[in-house]
């Protein structure tokens, strides 16, 4: 199946972008979509990380330095957040349970859990920045819980 970009939006590199990104997901998918809550949480974490760690607003791509893209294919939803920041460090998942008690450090652990480890990143070749992505099931299997991936991910992070 060929990938189909459902939606894409440019966002400023400020803390309000995470809230705006969550609103966009609601408009794009609708609250009744089976993966809505999972996508919304992943988008929030990835956009927050981009704002916090990518130093957007620095360098030549300071205007609309973040791009949020939602792509559908083969029963999956792929969430991509592209930044134009200058950070060169590799994104990493904090494996230390103490991370759960801090204000930061949990974002990619949540994304990793929700995506079943199906996430990654790539550096941009001809310009500063990178894209962090994850893939989620478009139609999570019903288990009696309204959002089993979110519940399972949050439970596993607490253990």
* pLDDT given at position 65: 81
Instruction: Give the phi and the psi of residue 47 in degrees, each rounded to 5.
Output: -70, -40
Fold of domain 4-158: Heat Shock Protein 90 (3.30.565)
pTM of the predicted structure, to 2 decimals: 0.77
Of the candidates 53, 55, 27, 49, the one whose C-alpha atom is nearest the C-alpha of residue 40 is: 27
- Give domain limits for the chain: 4-158
Please state the rounded mean pLDDT for residues 77-94: 75
Q: Is the pLDDT of residue 147 over 50?
A: no
pLDDT band at 151 (very low <50, low <70, confident <90, very high): low
Q: Which two tokens stand for residue 147?
A: 């959002």
Most confidently modeled range among 94-98, 111-115, 143-147: 111-115
């Amino acid at each position: 199946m060929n990938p189909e970009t459902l939606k894409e939006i440019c966002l400023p590199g400020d803390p309000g972008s995470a809230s705006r990104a969550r609103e966009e997901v609601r408009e794009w998918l609708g609250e009744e979509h089976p993966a809505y809550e999972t996508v919304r949480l992943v988008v929030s974490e990835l956009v927050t990380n981009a704002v916090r760690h990518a130093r957007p607003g620095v360098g030549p791509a300071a205007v609309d330095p973040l791009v949020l893209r939602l792509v559908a294919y083969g029963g999956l939803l792929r969430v991509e957040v592209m930044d134009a920041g200058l950070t060169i460090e590799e994104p990493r998942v904090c494996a230390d349970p103490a991370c759960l008690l801090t204000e930061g450090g949990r974002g990619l652990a949540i994304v990793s859990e929700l995506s079943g480890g199906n996430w990654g990143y790539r550096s941009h070749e001809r310009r500063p920045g990178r894209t962090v992505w994850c893939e989620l099931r478009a139609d999570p299997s019903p288990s009696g819980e309204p959002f089993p991936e979110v519940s399972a991910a949050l439970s596993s992070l607490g253990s």
